[in-house]
């Protein structure tokens, strides 16, 4: 299987299937630093990234934004001094799709702290 970070997002419609429990466990192994959470009844992936200052956090936020725009798959991003929290989920299906794990892996790759 191609590494997640090398994959692109698939076009996704409102009737696209969410990942199964087995798929979720397998995909999560590729992005172990991401938490599986439930927020407002929707499963999501969340990770907090740390930086030395606001400028570095802002630069990373912009990089993630560019990745998201390229794939037309957009996360929730919270930018704070020295910290960026990113949450991925598929809005159309109200939960997790393989695309979310792909984008989490690509976000990890963009993080200069790794």
Q: How confident is the model at residue 8 (pLDDT cuts 50, 70, 90)?
A: confident
- Let me know if residue 2 belongs to a domain: no
Q: How far is residue 35's CA from residue 15's CA, in Å, rounded to a whole number?
A: 25
pLDDT digit string (tens) for 69-109? 999 999 999 999 999 999 999 999 999 999 999 999 999 99
Q: How confident is the model at residue 114 (pLDDT cuts 50, 70, 90)?
A: low
- Let me know if residue 93 belongs to a domain: yes
pLDDT digit string (tens) for 41-72? 999 999 999 999 999 999 999 999 999 999 99
- Structure-derived torsion over alpha carbons of residues 71, 7, 80, 85, reported in degrees to the nearest 10: 110
Q: How far is residue 65 CA from its own chain's centroid?
A: 11
Q: What is the pLDDT of residue 4?
A: 73
- Let me know if residue 85 belongs to a domain: yes
Q: Tell me the backbone φ, ψ of residue 44, rounded to 5 degrees.
A: -145, 165
**C-beta neighbour count of 38 within 10 angstroms:** 10
- Let me know if residue 105 belongs to a domain: yes
Q: How many domains does the chain have?
A: 1
Tell me, what CATH number does 98's domain have?
Answer: 3.30.1360.20
């Amino acid at each position: 299987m191609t590494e997640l970070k090398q994959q692109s997002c698939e076009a996704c419609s409102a009737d696209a299937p969410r990942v199964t429990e087995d798929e979720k466990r397998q995909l999560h192994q590729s992005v172990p630093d991401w938490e599986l959470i439930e927020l407002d009844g929707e499963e999501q992936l969340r990770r907090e990234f740390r930086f030395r200052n606001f400028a570095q956090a802002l630069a990373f936020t912009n990089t993630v934004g560019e990745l998201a725009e390229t794939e037309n798959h957009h996360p929730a991003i919270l930018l704070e001094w020295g910290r960026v929290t990113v949450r991925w989920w598929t809005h159309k299906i109200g939960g997790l799709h393989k695309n979310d794990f792909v984008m989490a892996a690509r976000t990890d790759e963009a993080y200069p702290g790794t």
